[in-house]
A and B are shown apart, each in its own frame.
Chain A
Amino acid sequence: MKKALKAPDTGALGNRGKKGLRYHIQKYGAYYVMLIPLFIFLIIFCYLPMGGTVMAFQDFRPVRGFFKSDWVGLENYADVFSDKMFWSRLKNTVIISVLKILFTAPAPIILALLLNEVRNRKFKRTVQTVVYMPRFISWVVVVSIIQSLLDVQGGPINTLLMNLGIIDEPILFMGSKKLFRTLLVATEVWKTVGWSSIIYLSALTNINPTYYEAAELDGAGRFQKMWYITLPLIKPTFMILLILSMGSILSAGFDQIYAMSNSAVLEVGDIIDTYVYRRGLAEMNFSYAAAVGLFKSVVSVVLVCGANWLARRTENESLF
């Protein structure tokens, strides 16, 4: 109500507010109609599933639906928290996420710094076109390519490593428990580094050139300028991105891991998302899987809000 009364003060309505109710309906009516698809979408695909999380507290049977399934209270959570599989999946998820953040956060900065020093425009643009490309390729395609490159029988990487004398026998990369997480992180860096560098490149071009000029007068070299001017000035961007990535620590990437994992590496590669999928949809343990899913959602909200709070505290920036 308050908003409705305030409305005429703003924007175009300034001198038209007195035209009365009919004008308002005429003006705003169209806007509300434009919002109808959004409302339908939000209700059906966002808020209805949120209500559906009650199945985490039910012995859910699809034939009975949400309303007629038996309530079991926290029984599903007793199952979840006493399940060793759940804890190992939670551990996997956090380890994989943290490893990914550790490597994907600094890599784009290095790339942006290198790109920023390029004087030849054509060269710069060509490199940019090539390094952004992996962002647009699906994980399945990436995994398909990686599989061929890492093939045990005559794959180029195994051949190269053997020719260089680094290894004596070809490595079964895709089925190695030791190497699986390394592969996840390496492919993640490969896929995202170029695209993430865009944000740093724009931060770099926004740096006031007079800083550099002043530093040059004081006799600063290229690396001193980078260390004392460039890096401190892009630190806020880095911190924001780093803090915000904490919010998605429980999503280690369904498509990537689903496409890349196999029975040999399941123990180290299975994450909450793939676990929920397998227990829920493949094994039809709906309530158990929904309970795990709800746990993930709740923890994620806490993490996102916490990260946002931290970002506002430390860097005076926030998402919402």
Chain B
Amino acid sequence: MRKLKSDAPRRRRISLFTVINTILLCLVAFMMFYPFWYVLTGSFMSTDESVTNVFHFVVRRPTLDAYKTFFSSVDVGRHFLASFYASVFGMIISLICTSMAAYALSRRGLPGRTLVMKIVLGAMLFSGGLIPIYMVIRNLGMINTWESLWVPGLINLYYMIIMRTYFHGIPEELLDAARIDGAGEWRIFFKIVLPNALPILATIALFYMVDRWNDLMSGIIYINDVNDQPLQAMLYRIIQNQTGLAGSPVSSTVGTMRVTSETAGYAATIITMLPILCVYPFLQKYFVHGMMVGSLKD
């Protein structure tokens, strides 16, 4: 609405400000974008070019050598599969469990609803901590399985509350109409509630997916066999090897992995973020939507 105010007589003063503002924002955008660009172009360079072409603004002689080296030195497929399983299969199960719980807790007449919410809040406030959680997962026999990558975070309670807020907005009359037609609660949930909540479902699904894909901790803590770890853990071992500062006490149990060239490291970085880079531009509005719903929670 304020846009309408920038009427003709003031235009000249605005334009000076606009120039400075535009330059500043371009600078910010450049700082955000350049690191990605540097790695992306680097991954298409030969080792020699990546050394001589310091700033990587353009690739002079594109080559796929880096990717060839990377794919031949690491069993990428298996790491990728681990990440994919946790972030896609795990996301589907999480989404079903989260939406069911959120819907049930959004129904105002449900006896015991406040008690359940208190139990949820308690779990959000107080965490048992890394070691006890590790022991529980160990006793469940989940160490060294890909389930350990997503089952311990099956329901993100914060996401559940966001969804519950959304479900509050579905009018009871709509559901009543279906009840009069003889639909059962499950039928109503799947045929009316979920289709009416597609934006929030998409948002939460994406959050689950991105969280799991980007998670480094679980892969390193719960999976001992380095060949079974997800992509993030694989990339972690590659970069640890490249610092020249490897053998860090923090990472002593993980070990490092040799990738023969720096450009192969670029290729590994690109492969690790590829799925997110691919979906991000198209799904940005859902992410932003989710952020808005989350902030309206209070």
Which residues of chain A have a CB within 8 Å of any CB of chain B? Answer: 3-4, 7-8, 10-13, 27-32, 34-35, 37-38, 41-42, 44-53, 55, 62, 65-66, 111, 114-115, 117-119, 123, 126-127, 129-134, 136-141, 143-149, 154, 156, 159-160, 174-175, 190, 194-195, 198-199, 202, 209, 212-213, 216, 222, 254-255, 258-259, 261-264, 266, 270, 273-274, 276-278, 280-282, 286, 289-290, 293-294, 296-297, 300-301, 304-305, 317-320
Contact = CB atoms under 8 A, between A and B. Distances in A.
A266 B129 contact: no
A136 B210 CA distance: 7
B201 to A, nearest CB: 15
Contact of B25 (A114, A136, A262): A114
Given A133-B36, A263-B245, A281-B253, A7 B101 contact: no
Given A42-B120, A49-B133, A62-B138, A140 B266 contact: no
A134 B13 CA distance: 34
B42 interface: yes
Nearest to A319: B298
B175 A53 contact: no
Contacts of B18: 117, 119
A126 B284 CA distance: 11
Given A11-B172, A289-B131, A266 B250 contact: yes
27 contacts: A3-B111, A3-B113, A7-B109, A28-B109, A34-B100, A38-B155, A45-B154, A46-B128, A117-B17, A119-B3, A131-B28, A131-B29, A131-B32, A136-B210, A136-B287, A137-B273, A140-B235, A144-B238, A144-B265, A146-B35, A198-B288, A212-B2, A258-B220, A258-B251, A281-B253, A290-B131, A301-B125
A69 B129 CA distance: 19
Nearest to B273: A141
A263 B247 contact: yes
Nearest to A199: B295
A114 B24 contact: yes
Contacts of A156: 38, 54-56
Nearest to A277: B130
Given A123-B25, A278-B249, 20 more contacts: A12-B179, A31-B104, A31-B110, A38-B101, A38-B116, A41-B155, A66-B135, A133-B280, A140-B235, A140-B272, A199-B295, A209-B1, A209-B2, A209-B5, A258-B216, A263-B248, A266-B248, A277-B250, A281-B131, A304-B125
B109 A127 contact: no
B187 to A, nearest CB: 10
B121 interface: yes
B31 interface: yes
Contact of B127 (A126, A198, A280, A297): A297
A258 B250 contact: yes
Given A49-B132, A190-B31, A273-B130, A143 B239 contact: yes
A141 B105 contact: no
A208 B232 CA distance: 45
B213 interface: yes
B202 interface: no
A62 B265 contact: no
B216 A138 contact: yes
B29 A262 contact: no
B260 interface: no
A262 B252 CA distance: 10
A117 B23 CA distance: 13
Interface string B40-83: 00100000000100111000000000000000000000000000
Contacts of A131: 28-29, 32
A146 B269 CA distance: 11
A15 B259 CA distance: 70
B196 interface: no
A48 B136 contact: yes
A303 to B, nearest CB: 11
A259 B245 CA distance: 12
A190 B100 contact: no
B28 A127 contact: yes
Nearest to A163: B54
B130 A289 contact: yes
Given A136-B276, A212-B2, A49 B136 contact: yes
Contacts of B131: 52, 55, 276, 280-281, 286, 289-290, 293
A156 B37 CA distance: 12
Contact of A144 (B55, B120, B239, B284): B239
B232 A140 contact: yes
A258 B250 CA distance: 7
Contacts of B140: 44
Contact of A297 (B32, B101, B128, B247): B128
Given A130-B33, A293-B132, A294-B129, A28 B111 contact: yes
Contacts of A277: 130, 221, 250
Contact of B123 (A12, A30, A46, A319): A46
B204 interface: no
B39 A190 contact: no
A154 B97 contact: no
Nearest to A254: B217
